[in-house]
Amino acid sequence: MKTRILIIVGSIVLLAACKNEQKPVLRQGAFYTEEQGAAELKKLESMYSTSEQWEPRKKMLKERILKGMNLSPLPTRTPLNAITGTKRIHDGYTVENVSIETIPGFYLCGNLYRPLDNSSKHPGILCPHGHFEGDTLGAWGRFHPDLQKRCATFARMGAVVFSYSMFGWGGESSKQLDPSSIVEKPVTDSIAKYHSVPLALTMQTWNSMRVLDYLETLPDVDMAKIGVTGASGGGTQTFLLTALDDRVAVSVPVVMVSCHFFGGCNCESGLPIHQGADYFTNNAEIAAMAAPKPMLMVSDGADWTKNEPTVEYPFIKRTYSFYKAENNVENANFPDGVHDYGYAKRIPVYKFMAKHLGLNLQAVSDPDGTINENKSDAENALLMLSFTSQNPHPANALQGSAAIDEALKKLQK
């Protein structure tokens, strides 16, 4: 394989994936340019041109990615021991605080949004969040108003939605990594130290798989209609989960699919998933592994997705053509937009999910067809916590990334 290392660096550092800086980016110790990324796609195109040629590579990539993120073999699935808090009733939907034990002693915390009508099965949607920051807990992670609005609107459209925290990124998760942290307050000093570790990529992906396991236990979820969508780091988790777990039926990675950007955080590129001794890949090809399942890619002009309409999207659409499924992949581009998951970007996502998951778009639309989020509330973050200083984690809660890593490895023996 041709050597493509440009600049070797001593360590992988946390780059602000939520910022709109156009800089060369890290891929396992190397920096890549937009031109190199586009050239790499051309190289990949020369390697396969039919589904018969692509499928073996897709299988190989799945195996290499799982191995690279230390999830091969997959850990034994242990009881989830879900803990559900008090249900809060809103206009057209409910919210519950939920924690699940993804491995013994590690509690993934999130919020479950449900339609008021629970008489039938509903599509399920996973909502991993990105690295969007704020000055208060209310703007961090799954507590971000934009994410709450999205989850609530999906629920009002008829979906069961689970929004869950990234590994060590504020709230309850940080408490298991930094016992001195206060759950109810931002943990800005801890995030770089406790979130930006290679284990974050392993645990976040395993946590997403376990969220799918949790949805399987809910009698009101139709597992044949599962979607996932997130922005920035949540966009990375969206296409990784879709590539690795066949239970995902519809995916919408937002402001993340790029052939030259691999994610600025260890939770995206801190382990060798993009390159090994006998292979290389990039995030555009990983996203293409969704084919032929419906996928909407959302891009903007202010970050690494600015070339998506002319570079990554045609490449991915070509892969879909192997299955005569070109109509299943779309790109919503916002050339004047920024790196976010704001209202404008949510509109095409609602329409895409409604189309492919059978959701009721009219339930959130005004008479003129405008999608209206006014009835989708943003709660106070303190209401959304599964564990607090007054209601601490269970006694078996693991403390520190080393203990979590050890417990995970025991499940792989």
Higher pLDDT, 193 or 243: 243
| Stretch 30-48: mean pLDDT | 91
Cα separation, 191 vs 207, whole angstroms: 18
The count of domains in the chain is 1
Residue 59 has pLDDT above 90, yes or no: yes
Cα separation, 367 vs 411, whole angstroms: 53
At residue 190 the predicted structure's pLDDT band, cuts being 50, 70 and 90, is low
44 belongs to a structural domain: no
Report the pLDDT value the prediction gives residue 216, as an integer from 0 to 100.
98
| Stretch 55-66: mean pLDDT | 98
Task: Find the range with the poorest average confidence among 138-152, 184-198, 306-320.
Answer: 184-198
Cα distance between the two ends of the chain: 33
Report the pLDDT value the prediction gives residue 188, as an integer from 0 to 100.
56
| Stretch 324-341: mean pLDDT | 97
Concatenated DSSP letters of 247-311: T--EEEEES---SS---SSHHHHSSSSSEETTEE--HHHHHHTTTTS-EEEEEESSSTTTTTTTT
Q: Which of 92, 90, 96 is nearest to 156 (CA)?
A: 92
Residue 23 has pLDDT above 60, yes or no: no
Cα separation, 315 vs 293, whole angstroms: 16
65 belongs to a structural domain: no
Report the pLDDT value the prediction gives residue 170, as an integer from 0 to 100.
75
| Stretch 329-338: mean pLDDT | 98
Residue 12 has pLDDT above 70, yes or no: no
At residue 3 the predicted structure's pLDDT band, cuts being 50, 70 and 90, is very low
Q: What is the pTM assigned to this prediction?
A: 0.92
| Stretch 213-240: mean pLDDT | 97
- Give the tokens for residue 341: 């998951």
170 belongs to a structural domain: yes
Report the pLDDT value the prediction gives residue 5, as an integer from 0 to 100.
31
76 belongs to a structural domain: no
Residue 323 has pLDDT above 70, yes or no: yes
Report the pLDDT value the prediction gives residue 250, as an integer from 0 to 100.
98
Task: Find the range with the poorest average confidence among 109-118, 134-143, 223-232.
Answer: 134-143
Residue 168 has pLDDT above 90, yes or no: no
Q: How many helices (H) and strands (E) does the chain have?
A: 12, 14
Report the pLDDT value the prediction gives residue 2, as an integer from 0 to 100.
36
Residue 391 has pLDDT above 50, yes or no: yes
62 belongs to a structural domain: no
At residue 136 the predicted structure's pLDDT band, cuts being 50, 70 and 90, is low
Report the pLDDT value the prediction gives residue 49, as an integer from 0 to 100.
97
- Report the percent of the chain where pLDDT is more than 90: 77
Residue 30 has pLDDT above 60, yes or no: no
Domain boundaries, position 88: 83-405
- The answer to whether 22 touches 244, Cβ cutoff 8 Å, is no
Report the pLDDT value the prediction gives residue 7, as an integer from 0 to 100.
26
Looking at residue 304, its amino acid is: W
Looking at residue 408, its amino acid is: L
Tell me the Ramachandran region of residue 202: left when phi exceeds 0, alpha when psi lies from -120 to 50, beta otherwise: alpha
At residue 28 the predicted structure's pLDDT band, cuts being 50, 70 and 90, is low
Report the pLDDT value the prediction gives residue 193, as an integer from 0 to 100.
72
Cα separation, 239 vs 297, whole angstroms: 10
379: domain CATH number is 3.40.50.1820
Report the pLDDT value the prediction gives residue 357, as an integer from 0 to 100.
98
Report the pLDDT value the prediction gives residue 50, as an integer from 0 to 100.
98
| Stretch 72-92: mean pLDDT | 97
The 10s digit of each residue's pLDDT in 97-106 is 999 999 999 9
412 belongs to a structural domain: no
- The answer to whether 106 touches 394, Cβ cutoff 8 Å, is no
Q: Under DSSP, is residue 223 helix (H, G, I), strand (E, B) or coil?
A: strand
